Structure 1
Amino acid sequence: MDILTEALGSMRTAYPSSVRTEGRAPWALRLPPVLGAGFHVVLYGTCWLLPLGIGNGTGNGTGSGNGAGRHEPIALSPGDVVFLRDGGGHVLADHPDTPPVDARDCEADSAPPIGTVSLGGGGARTSLLCGNYHLDQGRPHPMVRQLPALIHLPTRHGRHPELAAAVQLLGSELENPRIGSAGIVPALIDSLLLYILRAWFEDQPAASAAGWAAALRDAAVAPALEAIHGAPATPWTVESLADRAGLSRAAFARRFTTMVGEPPMAYLTRWRMTTAARLLRESEAPLTSVAAQTGYGSEYAFAKAFKREFGLAPGGYRREARAA
């Protein structure tokens, strides 16, 4: 069971949207906050990212582990990737002192495979892929909630080879679109999110990792998470999960709660409801089937639990999701 893929899949509300940004010095672009998570990939040249009031939230800094309370301007080089967990507003610029223009005042052309925004003067060129992943921030998965507000992943000098390869492929397809590029580019952008988060989690030193970075590699907690995600309908108890982990009930519950951020049964309920919401949005399964697939013995018990979690009955939630 790939917990990272499952967690992200549970939050997705649409495919990523993106635009290529071509800047010629002097240039600066102010990007407003977006719903979901923002990202940037430096395809060519260099630039600066200036966060606008973005703190570190519950995470522990950038990809390099910097734990500062606020982010200073960040110098970006070719191949660098930036991930903004909450889609916070920020500025991209050739220099921190360049006055920015608002992104809403810039029109993108519609050249395939994605549109391009061009701005600036006649100086040094910078090319970026900018966009956002449409994630439901109203009900973020705790794995995502624990991430730093801003992650900067330099991919030069051999760091994160898979992420670097994806960035190189994206750059090649955008620089020289050919047959198939319209399908290849969106797929690469979609996969990029998994590469970004995999790289960040793997960057956390095993000895000092905490939260989900530790949970995903912990010999006791990881098997319990895999069991919950792999079979949410199973009548799991703290004791049965502790048995799989080889720990006492009390020791397992403490360890799970510390790393995951909530007790085992609370997380089980969360994942059951998340799975149920996904089935309601994406399938035509009757409510009795959704109830059975998420561990509820009756449609009534399921509907009561679902309304307590979402504030809507399952049928109403399905209709609202389809109408959106």
Structure 2
Amino acid sequence: MDAVAGLLDGPRARGAFLLRSMLTPPWSMLIRDEAPLTVVAVVRGDAWLVPGHGTAVSLVAGDVAIVRGPDPYTVADDPATPPQVVIHPGQRCTTPDGRELFEMTRWGVRTWGNAPDGRTVLLTGTYPIRGAVGRRLLDALPPLAVVPHASWDSPLVPLLAAEIVKDDLGQEAVLDRLLDLLLIAALREWFARPGAAAPAWYRAHADPVVGRALRMLHHDPARPWTVASLAAEAGLSRAALARRFTGLVGEPPMSYLTGWRLALAADLLREPGATVGAVARRVGYGSSFALSAAFKRRYGLSPRQHVDGPARAG
């Protein structure tokens, strides 16, 4: 599991909210759904995305925007157009004055808008759950990241546009995976851009030694790693690895491993039928007691409280 794939190992799309919007000016939607992560792709025409704090961004066909929640934002034909629709948690829709919109104008499968031949066509994919594994990456993202069409040549936007209107058997799973692919590809492209301010642990994957060490920790967290064993696998002395790892990642190898194990545990604990003991073994803790103690030190709550409460650990 690499740094970007780690984002999707927790909030992997499972029945994600996906919608095609067909719009002709004037139009404006205020999004208050509090979703942790949303992908907006422009298939045709243009749009403006206005974050709650920050500068409005113009989007054209082929552009992909990644919006980190839970703050509200607006998508409109023009920043000056007042909102006509407000989207609340659970995709409940109202007018700006609070009147329920039980039936939006629909133009086919997963499609709505104000015109069947709208000048602008948008695809929106929303991840409703924030998993703990992706917390480091989510926290590294700005409120709004835009990948312009001119910087990449990806078939994923037109492919998702073609699939989103189908209603075949298993289509929900197909769309979930396509959304995952689009998000991973867009994040990878965005982090590669100059000035993207990728987190240190992400950039460290490019280092031939530290990158190898990170991949080993990610792929086999249950192994009883020590700095010495990790250094031996990486082909460096213990002191040299510790120094190089800490300098590039920003924390020592074993500290990083602890955070990774507990983030994995936080996510695994939410799987159906999971037990603390089973999860402890999968992430490298010798007993349920050891995992519970470490979990509470890290997150301030027990594994059981984490499972019963909202997805906040990370």
Q: Structure 1 CA distance, aligned partners of 2:163 and 2:13? A: 26
Q: Quote the Cα distance in structure 1 between the aligned partners of 2:133 and 2:194.
A: 25
**2:181 paired with 1:191:** yes
The residue type equivalent to 1:193 in the other structure is L
For residues 17 and 109 of structure 2, the distance between their equivalents in structure 1, rounded to whole angstroms, comes to 12
Aligned-pair identity in percent equals: 36
The residue aligned with 1:114 is 110
Matched, 1:216 2:177: no
Could you state the TM-score of these two structures normalised by the residue count of structure 2? 0.79
CA–CA separation in structure 2 for the residues paired with 1:254 and 1:135: 36
Q: Which residue does the alignment assign to 1:226?
A: 215
Equivalent-residue separation in structure 2 for 1:256 and 1:169 (angstroms): 40
Counterpart CA distance in 2 for 1:283 and 1:20 is: 32
For the 8 Å contact 1:142–1:260, the answer to whether it is kept is no
Q: How far apart in 1 are the matches of 2:11 and 2:255?
A: 18
- Distance in 2 between residues matched to 1:191 and 1:313, nearest whole Å: 34
Partner of 1:26: 26
Give the 3 Å change call, closer, same or farther, for CA 19–261 of structure 1 in structure 2: farther
Aligned in 2, Cα 1:313/1:49: closer, same or farther, shift over 3 Å?
closer
In structure 2, C-alpha distance between the alignment counterparts of 1:321 and 1:51, rounded to whole Å: 25
- Of residues 303-312 and 9-18 in structure 1, the stretch that sits farther from structure 2 once superposed is 9-18
Shift of 1:245: 3.5
Pairwise CA distance, 1:273: 1.6
Query: Closer, same or farther in 2 for the Cα pair 1:321/1:14, shift >3 Å?
Result: farther
Residues 51-62 of structure 1: pairs in structure 2 closer than 5 A: 51-53=51-53
* Structure 1 residues 296 and 77: CA distance shift in structure 2, 3 A: same
Counterpart of 1:97 in structure 2 is 80
Task: Tell me, in whole angstroms, the C-alpha distance in 2 between the residues paired with 1:2 and 1:45.
Answer: 35
For residues 210 and 275 of structure 1, what CA distance do their matches in structure 2 show? 19
Among 56, 65, 69, the alignment partner of 1:73 is 56
CA distance in 2, matches of 1:235, 1:179: 46
1:252 Cα shift? 3.3
TM-score, normalising length from structure 1?
0.77
Pair 1:36-2:26 in alignment: no
Q: Does residue 278 in structure 1 map to residue 302 in structure 2?
A: no
Matches of 1:258 and 1:103 in 2, distance apart?
A: 46
Alignment partner of 1:85 is 2:77:
no
Deviates more, 1:296-305 or 1:226-235: 296-305
Unaligned stretches of 5+ in structure 2?
88-93, 95-100
Give the match's secondary structure for 1:292: helix
Deviations 1:31-66 (A, max 9, x none): 22523112211111112122221xxxxxxxxxxxxx
1:142 aligns with 2:136: yes
Q: Name the CA distance, whole Å, in 2 between partners of 1:97 and 1:313.
A: 48
Deviations 1:122-146 (CA, angstroms, capped at 9, x unpaired): 9971111123223427785323322
Cα separation, partners in 2 of 1:168 and 1:215, compared to 1, 3 Å: same
CA drift at 1:211: 1.8
Confirm or deny: 8 A CA contact 2:140 2:199 kept in the other structure: no
Q: Structure 1 counterpart of 2:137, which letter? A: M
- The change in CA–CA distance for 1:288 and 1:51 in structure 2 (over 3 A counts) is closer
Distance change in 2, residues 1:87/1:39 (3 Å): farther
- For structure 1, the 5+ residue unaligned runs are 54-69
- Say what the alpha-carbon RMSD is for the aligned residues: 3.4
Q: Distance in 2 between matches of 1:144 and 1:272?
A: 17
Matched, 1:200 2:190: yes
